[in-house]
Structure 1
Amino acid sequence: MRDVLMRTALFVPGNRPERFAKALSCGTDAVIVDFEDAVQESEKVAARQHLAQFLADNPDARVWVRVNTVNHPQHAAELDFCTRQKGVIGLLLPKAEHPADVARAALSGKAIIPIIESAQGLQELAEIAQTSGVERLTYGGLDFSLDLGLVAGSAGAERMLDHVRFALLLHSRLASLAPPLETVFARIDDEQGVAAFMTAAQAMGFAGMLCIHPAQVGIVHQVMRPDALQLSWAQRVLERARDEAGAFQLDGQMIDAPVIQRARNLLAASHTS
């Protein structure tokens, strides 16, 4: 399990290169340059050119890319582009539905985050999660609601999406993946809403969330900042782990590799904004 700290993953449109540096400097744990929903069809090729120029001018920059869907005319070219770019460290695959498509993307050598956005994707989730190269999972709440005919944002839709959240958590654990990311919160000006959304996601075991505006980043980080009891627990876990070769018990809890990684992440989160 490659469990890097990812409390926030901020989308930035691929056709807005003036925003790339701003996104990278806003404190988010990951920046996702979006080639899909945020970019008009006429600007898809230009988005790649913008990112290529930015990475050439900023060789230390590291970004993720959300490529277009597998049936999009630009998908293959985008995979080829990302494979050749050192500054692209991972790919988000929208509307992931077939393990073979995920495996093909993983041939790029980049970390993969499939986005589950349909009933078909959920049906294939167990195999998708087990596909080599997948780092963690996420889902698209709006697209999933559309696919199932839910009223997006309603209490009923959230009850249905909780089943998706459970499936992501279950299969992440079974496949020894990093914990999943919560979907986007669409209301940019609702600070209390973002905080409540992330508070609930954290309680369910999610590692962080996808963000659509830099203003959401600090709110999410504040929500996820560990308290004194959590830090004390994490420190005791890591102290014991130094002396134990495998799994062990602490305060009646079985401590194994994923739990040890969670302790590391808690301490890491306490030292970041």
Structure 2
Amino acid sequence: MSNSPSDAHNESRSWLFVPGDRADRFAKALAAGADAVIVDLEDAVAPPDKTRARDAVATWLDAGAADGRRNVYVRINGADTAWFAEDVGAFAAHPGVRGIMLPKAADTAVLDAARARARVGLRLVPLLESAAGFAAIREIASTPGVERLAFGTVDFQVDTGIGGDGEELSFFRSLMTFASRVAGIGSPVDGVTTTIDDADAIEAAARRARRFGFGGRLCIHPRQIVPTHRGFAPAMEERIWAQRVIEAAEASSGSATVLDGKMIDAPVIQRARLVLAAAR
């Protein structure tokens, strides 16, 4: 049974960060075309500006610029900081916030602290950024209210000493997909691509994430949104294959059949339906 809200599987592909101390960019971020917007109070805001940024975000939300129908999340400061409690108090119960992203999630205590002050239906997105977080991944994913897991790849590489973002992280990406599936929550969200202008590289990173079972990626600039969406869309050859599978299955009245020398049975038909659903 899922621990996430009932619509958790209506998944966002692109999650656009906007600095919490740049109120002039909030509306632009909402209009940029991302599936979800994350107002960032953590890495994007210098320590002397944390309180001012929190107040600015709260004022913006109070004005109704983003209501519960919009995919607006707030990445609050970590539980080991002086700002955590006030961040939770400001946003966990706010009707304009769809969810809270919790950085450096390493155990369930931080999730419980956020849930204790949360409104009904608030979504939690733990950001796994350390070895400790992955050690507790099953418990974190199974915590009530968790919608999806997100991968903080850059911080994770620093924490573990891993030097690459490709095959070096394959095990951890697979583990996130596995833990999410076992917990019955939405598919995980992959980390950022630091390049902004290389659309091919951004699309390729999204396609890799999709192959690992991820449903979205974190974006640091609006120019990353379109190639990210392209990367999560089934390629034309996949769509053609899926349509042919469905047609062959219908012609055989649902019985196992053969297409291009390969067996088509129930799991293959289900995969084809998923491809066509994603294409739509």
TM-score range, shorter chain: 0.7 to 0.9
Mapped pair 1:199 → 2:204: no
| AA in 2 matched with 1:218 | V
- Aligned residue for 1:104? 113
Greater than 4 Å deviation, 4+ residue runs:
230-236
Q: CA deviation at 1:231?
A: 7.0
Determine which of 172, 192, 195 is the counterpart of 1:187.
195
Determine which of 136, 151, 172 is the counterpart of 2:148.
136
In the alignment, the residues of structure 1 paired with residue 161 and residue 144 of structure 2 have an alpha-carbon distance, to the nearest angstrom, of: 32
Cα 1:266–1:206 change in 2 (3 A) is: farther
Mapped pair 1:221 → 2:229: yes
Q: Helix, strand or coil for the counterpart of 1:51? A: helix
**TM-score, scaled relative to structure 1:** 0.83
| AA in 1 matched with 2:29 | A
- Aligned residue for 1:18? 24
In the alignment, the residues of structure 2 paired with residue 53 and residue 230 of structure 1 have an alpha-carbon distance, to the nearest angstrom, of: 50
**TM-score, scaled relative to structure 2:** 0.81
| AA in 2 matched with 1:69 | G
Task: Kindly tell me the number of residue pairs found equivalent between the two proteins.
Answer: 249
Q: Helix, strand or coil for the counterpart of 2:184? A: coil
In the alignment, the residues of structure 2 paired with residue 25 and residue 46 of structure 1 have an alpha-carbon distance, to the nearest angstrom, of: 24
> Which runs of 5 or more structure 2 residues have no equivalent in the other structure?
3-7, 251-263
Q: CA deviation at 1:69?
A: 0.7
Mapped pair 1:84 → 2:84: no
Cα 1:20–1:270 change in 2 (3 A) is: farther
Cα 1:188–1:59 change in 2 (3 A) is: closer
| AA in 2 matched with 1:193 | A
Cα 1:266–1:88 change in 2 (3 A) is: farther
Cα 1:49–1:169 change in 2 (3 A) is: same
Structure 1 residues 1-273: aligned runs within 5 Å: 1=2, 2-61=8-67, 62=70, 63-107=72-116, 108-109=118-119, 110-151=122-163, 154=164, 158-226=166-234, 227=236, 228-229=239-240, 232=243, 251-254=264-267, 263=274, 267=277, 270=279
Q: CA deviation at 1:223?
A: 2.2
Cα 1:192–1:254 change in 2 (3 A) is: closer
In the alignment, the residues of structure 2 paired with residue 95 and residue 234 of structure 1 have an alpha-carbon distance, to the nearest angstrom, of: 43
| AA in 2 matched with 1:200 | R
Q: Deviations over 1:138-174 (max 9, x none)?
A: 11111111111122xx3xx533311110110110010
Larger radius of gyration: 2
Q: Deviations over 1:211-244 (max 9, x none)?
A: 00000001111222334347749999xx9xxxxx
